[in-house]
Amino acid sequence: MAAKTGLSAVWHDEGKRWEIRELPRPETEPDGVSIRVQATSVCGSDLHLWRGDGVPEGTYRDPFVFGHEMMGTVAELGSKITTDSLRQPLHEGDRVVFAYFFPCMRCYNCIRGEMGACKFRGGRKPLEEWPVCNGGFAQYYYLRAPQFLFKLPDELDDAAAAPVNCALAQVMEAFHIAKPRFGDNVVIQGAGGLGVNATAVAAEMGANKVIVIDGQEPRLEMARRCGATHTIDIKDFPTPESRIQRVMELTNGVGADIALEVVGFPAAVEEGVQMVRMRGTYLEVGHISPNSIAHLDVQKLVSNQLRFFAIQHYDPWIIPNALDFLMRTREKYPLTKVISHSYGIEQIDEAFTTAEGLGREAGSVVTRAIVTP
């Protein structure tokens, strides 16, 4: 029997502080599933939210619970739920990974099969509107209908599974949209959690060269272990012009067929589009903060006939394919071994402070830290 209450880590902009609050667990409806969260990664987008990037000075958002890159065990099944989304028998206690958003299935996008683009796909309601224990950085997460969840193979531990529904699924969706061809040259801006996953995916999709850009040698080494053929260290190439020139040298003056941005800073976009060949594809994933303004010469985009795609969320079919990818490549790439720091929910302030510091320190190889609520 699942507990009736759970702990939630509530973030307060005012005072920049966490509050650990005990809240009732949402009631499980007949077509719902209650998840006992076991591991939630501190994603780069979580750090943007925590810092308040893009929020005007002196503005305070209402206290909120966040966290999305998670996995867990089934705490309680609604009376109508007997299987996962691939019709495998599902029981309380089973380990699962799931889409953290819920398409409405009744809108313009959903009826075209674009569930990741549903305008009504929200995950959590505001805390003041629905004061329950519900979030990634909380002990419970409620999957309302229609939910998409999948049983986890025993070979994947909790830490390895947590990033599946964001870091891996997001870049798989991006490459699905880009439609890379065998022999393409790919540039990846950033070697954090999404970046190293993107590196391995690009390599497995038949890329000729996978060029990864970052400012930390340990992260670049991780990228090389994940399939990067070339790396560009920002310390060695300190200007955008030098990095663009290096990409051109590595691609025989042509430019990248595909470039993927997973850094989340506007200057990276301004730089990255100049690395792409004529009629190449630029994939924008990293920007989730408001007021992320990039200055682009649109005429150059037109004259270069650039294909520009902005990607957020993914369609649910990606998740089981992401699990298959991890299982198939777990001995080839270290994607299941990038987590080195784990914190309980009461240590969430330390978790975020550590994740922020490790993301900036030159000696860091950590691309994800996890909270285990």
Reading phi first (left if > 0) and then psi (alpha if -120 to 50, else beta), residue 71 is in beta
Consecutive sets of 10 residues in the chain, 373 residues long: mean pLDDT of each? 91 95 96 97 89 88 94 97 98 96 94 93 82 96 96 94 92 96 97 93 97 94 96 97 98 98 93 98 90 91 96 94 95 83 93 77 60 93
Reported for 20-27, long-range contacts at CB under 8 A and 24+ positions apart, including other chains, are: 20/345, 20/346, 20/348, 22/133, 23/131, 23/132, 23/133, 23/134, 23/138, 24/131, 24/132, 24/133, 25/75, 25/132, 25/133, 25/140, 26/130, 26/132, 26/133, 26/134, 26/140, 26/142
Residue with token string 């009504």: 120
- Residue 46 near residue 27 (C-beta atoms within 8 A): no
Q: Which residues contact 120 (CB under 8 A, 6 or more apart)?
A: 103, 104, 107
pLDDT at 256: 98
- Residue 222 near residue 216 (C-beta atoms within 8 A): no
Evaluate the omega torsion of the peptide bond into residue 103 and state whether it is cis, within 30 degrees of 0.
no
- Residue 23 near residue 14 (C-beta atoms within 8 A): no
CA distances from 223 to 216, 269, 274, 321 (A): 11, 20, 22, 21
- Return d(Cα 82, Cα 131) in angstroms, integer: 28
pLDDT at 360: 61
pLDDT at 359: 58
pLDDT at 358: 63
What are the helix (H) ranges across 205-345?
217-225, 240-250, 266-272, 298-303, 318-329
pLDDT at 1: 66
**pLDDT (tens digit per residue) in 294-315:** 999 999 999 999 999 999 889 9
Tokens representing 76 are 């309680």
pLDDT at 125: 78
Q: Which segments within the chain are labelled E, that is strand?
A: 5-12, 17-24, 33-41, 70-77, 95-98, 140-143, 149-151, 185-189, 209-214, 230-233, 256-261, 276-284, 307-310, 339-344, 368-372
- Return d(Cα 231, Cα 212) in angstroms, integer: 5
Tokens representing 231 are 């790396």
- Residue 70 near residue 136 (C-beta atoms within 8 A): yes
- Return d(Cα 316, Cα 318) in angstroms, integer: 5
Q: Which residues contact 12 (CB under 8 A, 6 or more apart)?
A: 18, 19, 63
